Structure 1
Amino acid sequence: MRLLTYDREGARRLGAWVETSVVDLPDAVGHPVFPASMEGLVARHGGTTLDAAREALAHPGVIEEFSVARPRVLAPLVASVHHVDRPVVLGPDEALDQRLSDGELRMLPQIACLIGRPGAWTPLDTAEGLIFGYTMMTRWTHSAGGTSRLLAVSLGPLVVTPDDFEPSGLRVQLRTDGRDLRSEPLNITRGEILESVARISGRRELRPGEALGIAAFPGMEGPDGFTVRPGTVVELEAAGLGTLRTCVGLRTRPGTRAHRPRNRDRQP
């Protein structure tokens, strides 16, 4: 299942990406206790709540009746990123204010898992139960004087539930200003992801809603990625996960759209 968060009259609203449409999930389910936001769904740990959503979306006519015209997609979760620098969380098409950094700006694109249950010292065979879903994440760091500081993370647009996510061979594309920079298959297996989650839970408690970077873009496994110039539009794209687009050096309101060099497909 592919989930997202969009803006509905100023409120964060839970949606599903079905075929080429965004469907308002609470309206499609039609039950008063169904969570209205991704945060509420994570608090329920998915489970039978997600089963109700799948059942609702399978009904004829639901997609057409509850589709959302021209949704403004936001960061999927007001995610808690475990880092001493307390970085800003950006959504898709949200611009990074270059004034946050007075030195070299670097970016590291990653695939992240979103934690759905608390866990500490979690055994490998139960680590998958901690994961709510997978999304794309870009880490933005300021580098100066031999030290680096995490300024912001971009998240989204789609969250794919574990039953629909297969990392092996997933091709990730990286573009700057509309030009293809790299296109590589993700070099990680599901088992390696679970090993990472279990290992990190042995160092500290994982919390629901936390975005955990578990796979860097192929060939960019270093701590800070590569340098980005002001004004650059960076796009990270993967099949099923959508396109995470960030414009560096402009200041916008959360959820507003940065410049789109070109429309590659009909993913968010």
Structure 2
Amino acid sequence: MRFATVTVDGDTSAAVVTDDAVYLLGRGRQMIDVIGQGLDGALAEGARAIARGRHIDHSDVAFEAPVQPPSIRDFVAFAEHVEGVRASMQGAGGVPEAWCDAPHFYFTNPYAVVGPDAVVRAPGGSGQLDFELEVAAVVGTAGSDVAVGAAAELIFGYTILNDWSARDLQRREMEIGLGPAKGKDFANSLGPVIVTADEFTDRVDGDGFLELACTVCVNGEEIGSDVTTNMGWSFAAMVAFASRDSAVRPGDVLGSGTIGNGGCLAELWGRRGTLDPSPLQRGDVVELTVEGIGTLRNTIGSPRPAGVPLPAPRTTDQQRRRSEHARR
């Protein structure tokens, strides 16, 4: 089943989407609550909505981000992406050994989530706006310290994630060693729908990897493509690792990390040694397509104005002495 969040005549609610119709689950019904009842409960609620027969045409609704997640963990499961972006962002070659230890992730901003057809603006001071094509799992059942063999049962469904990046800001702040922050803080696109996990049972291979073809186009021109079986870890492994010594909760989003083979511009910049293709500009249309889910489309708007100036950091006596000693 395909779930979405839609706005009709100013009212926003969860819905079931078919090829030719949208069935509202109830005025004001929130997708986080639909997910929270578990996959079986959500499927039953969706079936009741369809059985009532009251539907709306796709053209009469605006699709929003399908869920406002309580948290977003973004993984780096594609080695090819890591290799290319590492060259672009850090001037280093290859894939670090630590990548092989676990499906590492960072937390990104759930308050900056936008949906299909939203206008995305680069943050102030950035001239290198980039897209990132990812498939994301949406957690449907809470769990802690979950074994890999049981983790797939916690997945409610899958959607598309565009983890937008301001590469020039990101490159500078990562010199501190804490990973990306404000270079990723301004937008995350989700959508257009969440496709429930039961729809993909025939697309899971013997090792538990989901097989979905992924493509990204800018202004109608294909930039990159890959398949999710090229991930280093399965979504089940990601859920298990995220829950280790911690917990996952209904509505949590776990991004696959950007696909390889041109899933973002920075990967290509790293391989080519130049900003080719050029960073995204106002008016560009970015389309991320994932087999079985659909297309997530956004348009680039005007950059945001420069932020409020910040003061220089206060220098302590100890820092001054250290600086003077270094100059001797």
Q: Which TM-score bucket, shorter chain as reference?
A: 0.7 to 0.9
Match of 2:300 in 1: 248
- CA–CA distance in 1 between the matches of 2:285 and 2:263? 21
> What RMSD, in angstroms, separates the aligned Cα atoms of the two structures?
3.0
Shift of 1:169: 3.8
221, 230, 240: which is aligned to 2:281? 230
- CA–CA distance in 2 between the matches of 1:199 and 1:164? 24
For the pair shown, which has the larger CA radius of gyration, 1 or 2? 2
1:105 aligns with 2:157: no
Cα gap change, 1:44/1:100 in structure 2, threshold over 3 Å: closer, same or farther? farther
Cα gap change, 1:100/1:2 in structure 2, threshold over 3 Å: closer, same or farther? farther
Shift of 1:215: 5.1
| 1:205-224 equivalences in 2 (<5 Å) | 205-214=247-256, 216-219=258-261
Structure 1 counterpart SS, 2:223: strand
Shift of 1:107: 2.4
- CA–CA distance in 2 between the matches of 1:23 and 1:101? 43
| 1:18-97 equivalences in 2 (<5 Å) | 18-26=18-26, 36-54=29-47, 57=50, 59=51, 62=53, 65-68=54-57, 69-79=59-69, 80-82=71-73, 83=107, 88-97=112-121
Contact kept? 1:188, 1:215, Cα under 8 Å: no
Match of 1:257 in 2: none
Shift of 1:133: 1.0
Amino acid at match of 2:60: R
- CA–CA distance in 2 between the matches of 1:224 and 1:139? 13
Contact kept? 1:138, 1:155, Cα under 8 Å: yes
For normalisation by structure 2, the TM-score amounts to 0.64
Structure 1 counterpart SS, 2:67: coil
For normalisation by structure 1, the TM-score amounts to 0.77
Shift of 1:109: 0.9
Amino acid at match of 1:158: V
Contact kept? 2:130, 2:165, Cα under 8 Å: yes
Match of 2:184 in 1: 150
Runs of 5+ consecutive residues of structure 2 not aligned to the other structure: 74-106, 175-179, 205-209, 269-277, 304-328
Match of 1:114 in 2: 138
Identity of aligned residues (%): 25
- CA–CA distance in 2 between the matches of 1:121 and 1:234? 37
Contact kept? 2:131, 2:265, Cα under 8 Å: no
Contact kept? 1:108, 1:220, Cα under 8 Å: no
Match of 2:194 in 1: 159
User: What CA deviation, in whole Å up to 9, does each residue of 1:12-52 have, x standing for no partner?
Assistant: 2111121222222348xxxxxxx822122022223234224
Structure 1 counterpart SS, 2:256: strand
Contact kept? 1:81, 1:211, Cα under 8 Å: yes
Instruction: Tell me which protein shows more helix as a share of its residues.
Output: 2
Shift of 1:91: 0.4
